[in-house]
Structure 1
């Protein structure tokens, strides 16, 4: 049976896929490596070669805006990367030594573009590859992202310090020459009530970008001062910009465009033909990360499904739907549960991925999981943490509660000012539905979540039934206090979500609680969890020393074992 240690060891991840001159690059991390490194793939004399970069960095990664930005760029002399240990750029041609955090890098023949952040705000910077001199092109007390140069023009993204980029975000352009200054900036799209981002220059000088001006993130094109939709549809064609530098579309030869399309939890891949026809590509994946790249007329993507771990694949766009896998996250384990997509009405339908217990039929212990958004969504892919519990006879239900992405702006903003209410209602209705349909045991229904999902789990046990216990990992406990303790990037998020009754009050908790928290969590500081645990008569805190907001390795294994132990105690008490 799959152990907690095996779950932790299965954590290979691929991110930040890009392509330069037919060579693919990505960041790869795994428990076995113990750090993140840049890898590359290319065809050499008809044979594929995968290589590991030799950049001198403790681990490649950026904490720009707390969640990250593209942590490397390819330049003529090699690769420039952000060292995760200090936020500085290092490489053969470029090295920085400032008090900033760098990220969202983009290379050109003469300069390296990027964003750097400190407590005062953001700067758009250019670093000369010949001189290594750094110049500030633009600064703000808000946020900047995605510097993209083309000939004598520069595009970038910005948003104010009191908003989140998925609520209000702007695309700007200005005249620019390497080594020169920016001309008068022009706003292309975005503003109050519109989220625009992911600028990319076309060969003809057109600027492509994503915008949700229609209520859905769709692709647009700016040309000769005019903005026009490229492929309008009622679907999300971009991911919420938690990190800076996403690429949900890629420009292909012949004026074609490859693009992800998300409807609910399922991701798909399409090609937009020059005439506007949208042609789906049949791929064996349900989840695609927002990092598309192009190798010739093939689309490179990081993808997965409920039965396949993450892999990097090249997908043909010639109509053959041919898929070539070039890198796999190897695992000796086999999944034991495949989810069923169900829809549950709760004042507006929500979507749930239900994983049945292995080898069981009839009512079983149920774990309802609130994802870690709230402006995110459940991942429709192989999740070894889910398999850990289904292998032991638990059913698991992942809930895309109101506030999740994948359903348009109206659904995404439904949680504003109501955090801990409608999300809890969606999770409760999920449990009640599975109880009513005979899939869950009435005395063994649990709720868990991490980060924002941990807050939802804690709110869910402020009332009687149906949850017998809550497990909250790296949880936010007091959203009102979080407006000041959250990272600079996320403070507006806390302000938008919170309300007068948002704080978790110990006296209102009616069910046992297990809190799991790292003492180096910089997103949800541990002090609130310690205070709550000490005030709860039936609460326990598993403190993880030296661990941040995200759990991996031994910390993840310890958390899974503790969570299982908490559930088993409830089941044991029910049997007595």
Structure 2
């Protein structure tokens, strides 16, 4: 497998531009754009008159560890959260309107006020801030808060407890607010067995929100204290709320609502309108990020597909199929032979799991070396979209397989909760069964099956080689090592997640490894601190099971900079080749 025709790692890093956090006001559209070299997020602004302009100030926040909701605009200007200090400031002049040691996020405008969430060590605060004077008022305190909205003296937000995750138990609340105090607070939806998220005041005056009370996250409207389904579908109309500021639906003119609809790894755009069935908007995208905004009568979205890199676009919803691309990666070399995925359903433990199988580029048939990838999260899913890291390996003769194991989103609440208390067991079982299946049907080469994951996926990869099975090597980026210990070292937001997933035997133990492992970790990782990985590496070395340790100075959990990604890809490829060349053998 020569490198001569393989996609260079540096090109993968350059091509991996990402966009997030759409926000619109009038004819202005904003988003966050990642700079490939540094991984910094900066403000991008589009208008029909001036096109796209970029601001150099790094933007973002660390609320709930993963941030979100760092942009908001009104008729006066645009406000952002500075990545360096988590404070809200005017985008045009950089002047801050907050001065706090704590970060802010989930920005919204209403009644001339900025409303947002501020996270402190003891919990969250819902704030109302005068953008002119900086005067602020704490409206609500709770362990966790999100989605503030204020319209005509009516306030809404979502909240959940310190012992839960918002995709399991989340409540939507409303209250009156006269500019001085709030009153009449009441819970509208959500509870111990219901996740209600993304509350938003509609142009008709009603409160809208998304709830999984039927087992699927669907859109509802609160009318006179009754939750009324707006667009019932057997699909997920919300993403698991890892970040603040998600907007899986947006209001269009003429009482229409645009929304994302996810089924497994595929996502589409749909429109709900009074008196009509939910209508799919035909687009060239199979993956949509959880950010919709409306500019005029068009919907702004961040879409992609297996042969199309993520792009910011305005799409018509009138049936014309018109798509205006506002921003996409600049690809100087278009000659890459893309590997396109085959969607499979594979039996596992009496049920089925969904798999994306990417054959080597240009490969006809027959068994090949294979890299199986459990996704991060684990409360997440594989995306049906172009992933340049996949192409890095398929361009070198590997097949890549993405697995939506039990616990993934996109399949309803029961499937999502199937991993509770079973992390490192059911996910591993599903990955192992997928690998055995692909070996049995001649798609994978015996002795050349690898497993690779990041974060929670890295944990699954490590657990998978602690048992007898088909995997010749595990690669773990930014991995969790001990879920029980992680309940104390994880960010405040995720400690309940760790507690929900963990069990007494969930730790990764070096003496149980049946195959070697490559560990790749950022030294500044605050989600999964590097200490546990260093200890595991020491033990694996003593047991002759360490394929390598790549410690990345100055790098956090996501390996977002070009240099970090290049180092990780090249180390991973080198580890696979060591096994294939016989330099790593396991008795």
Q: How high is the TM-score relative to the length of structure 2?
A: 0.95
- Mapped partners of 2:293, 2:493: distance in 1: 27
Cα deviation per residue 1:441-466 (whole Å; 9 max; x = unaligned)?
Answer: 00100001000000000000012220
Q: Please name the residue that 2:361 is paired with.
A: 358
Cα deviation per residue 1:113-169 (whole Å; 9 max; x = unaligned)?
Answer: 1100011100001111232111111112x1001111111101101000110000000
Question: Do the aligned residues in 1 keep the contact of 2:523 with 2:556 (CA within 8 Å)?
Answer: yes
Q: Secondary structure at the match of 2:351?
A: coil
Question: Do the aligned residues in 2 keep the contact of 1:335 with 1:382 (CA within 8 Å)?
Answer: no
Cα deviation per residue 1:26-78 (whole Å; 9 max; x = unaligned)?
Answer: 1111214752211111223xxx6222347xx4x10111100112012114442
User: Structure 1's 463 and 195: CA in aligned 2 closer, same or farther, altered over 3 A?
Assistant: same
Q: Please name the residue that 2:559 is paired with.
A: 551
Q: Secondary structure at the match of 1:184?
A: strand
- Mapped partners of 2:16, 2:111: distance in 1: 36
Q: Please name the residue that 1:560 is paired with.
A: 569
Report whether the alignment pairs 1:571 with 2:573.
no
Residue segments in structure 2 that go unaligned for 5+ positions in a row: 1-5
Cα deviation per residue 1:311-334 (whole Å; 9 max; x = unaligned)?
Answer: 011111111122111111222343
Q: Please name the residue that 2:18 is paired with.
A: 13
Cα deviation per residue 1:481-536 (whole Å; 9 max; x = unaligned)?
Answer: 00000000000000000001101111111100101011100000000000001001
Q: Please name the residue that 1:97 is paired with.
A: 99
- Mapped partners of 1:476, 1:565: distance in 2: 23
Question: Do the aligned residues in 2 keep the contact of 1:11 with 1:30 (CA within 8 Å)?
Answer: no
Report whether the alignment pairs 1:127 with 2:129.
yes
Q: Secondary structure at the match of 1:349?
A: strand
Aligned residue among 325, 348, 351 for 2:351:
348
Aligned residue among 545, 549, 554 for 1:541:
549
- Mapped partners of 2:102, 2:550: distance in 1: 33
Q: Please name the residue that 2:3 is paired with.
A: none
Question: Do the aligned residues in 2 keep the contact of 1:80 with 1:94 (CA within 8 Å)?
Answer: no
What is the 5 A alignment of 1:252-263? 252-263=252-263
Q: Please name the residue that 2:446 is paired with.
A: 442
User: Structure 1's 105 and 525: CA in aligned 2 closer, same or farther, altered over 3 A?
Assistant: same
User: Structure 1's 348 and 222: CA in aligned 2 closer, same or farther, altered over 3 A?
Assistant: same
Q: Please name the residue that 1:3 is paired with.
A: 8
Question: Do the aligned residues in 2 keep the contact of 1:231 with 1:276 (CA within 8 Å)?
Answer: no
What is the 5 A alignment of 1:96-245? 96-108=98-110, 110-140=112-142, 142-177=143-178, 179-245=179-245
Question: Do the aligned residues in 2 keep the contact of 1:105 with 1:112 (CA within 8 Å)?
Answer: yes
Q: Please name the residue that 2:54 is paired with.
A: 52
- Mapped partners of 1:335, 1:275: distance in 2: 46
Question: Do the aligned residues in 1 keep the contact of 2:23 with 2:73 (CA within 8 Å)?
Answer: no
- Mapped partners of 1:342, 1:81: distance in 2: 42
- Mapped partners of 2:371, 2:315: distance in 1: 36
Q: Please name the residue that 2:317 is paired with.
A: 317
Q: Please name the residue that 1:413 is paired with.
A: 417
- Mapped partners of 1:418, 1:264: distance in 2: 21
What is the 5 A alignment of 1:79-90? 79-90=78-89
Question: Do the aligned residues in 2 keep the contact of 1:75 with 1:109 (CA within 8 Å)?
Answer: no
Q: Please name the residue that 2:63 is paired with.
A: 64
- Give the root-mean-square deviation of aligned CA atoms: 1.5
Q: CA deviation at 1:94?
A: 4.3
- Mapped partners of 1:574, 1:129: distance in 2: 62
Cα deviation per residue 1:526-571 (whole Å; 9 max; x = unaligned)?
Answer: 0000000100122121111111101131011001000000000000
Q: CA deviation at 1:419?
A: 0.3
What is the 5 A alignment of 1:239-278? 239-278=239-278
- Mapped partners of 2:257, 2:579: distance in 1: 53
Q: Secondary structure at the match of 2:511?
A: helix
Deviates more, 1:311-320 or 1:387-396: 311-320
Report whether the alignment pairs 1:327 with 2:335.
no
Q: Please name the residue that 2:436 is paired with.
A: 432
- Mapped partners of 2:54, 2:446: distance in 1: 52
What is the 5 A alignment of 1:373-384? 373-384=377-388
- Mapped partners of 1:426, 1:499: distance in 2: 18
Q: Secondary structure at the match of 1:414?
A: helix
Question: Do the aligned residues in 2 keep the contact of 1:443 with 1:574 (CA within 8 Å)?
Answer: no
- Mapped partners of 1:541, 1:34: distance in 2: 23
Question: Do the aligned residues in 1 keep the contact of 2:23 with 2:71 (CA within 8 Å)?
Answer: no
- Mapped partners of 2:422, 2:111: distance in 1: 49
- Mapped partners of 2:361, 2:193: distance in 1: 45
Question: Do the aligned residues in 2 keep the contact of 1:76 with 1:109 (CA within 8 Å)?
Answer: no
- Mapped partners of 1:96, 1:574: distance in 2: 57
User: Structure 1's 547 and 53: CA in aligned 2 closer, same or farther, altered over 3 A?
Assistant: closer
Q: Please name the residue that 2:36 is paired with.
A: 31
Q: How high is the TM-score relative to the length of structure 1?
A: 0.96
Cα deviation per residue 1:222-279 (whole Å; 9 max; x = unaligned)?
Answer: 0222211111111001100000111111111110111110111000111111114211
- Mapped partners of 2:465, 2:555: distance in 1: 26
Q: Please name the residue that 2:285 is paired with.
A: 285
Question: Do the aligned residues in 1 keep the contact of 2:159 with 2:172 (CA within 8 Å)?
Answer: yes
Q: CA deviation at 1:335?
A: 4.9
User: Structure 1's 335 and 300: CA in aligned 2 closer, same or farther, altered over 3 A?
Assistant: farther
- Mapped partners of 1:222, 1:478: distance in 2: 42
- Mapped partners of 1:396, 1:574: distance in 2: 22
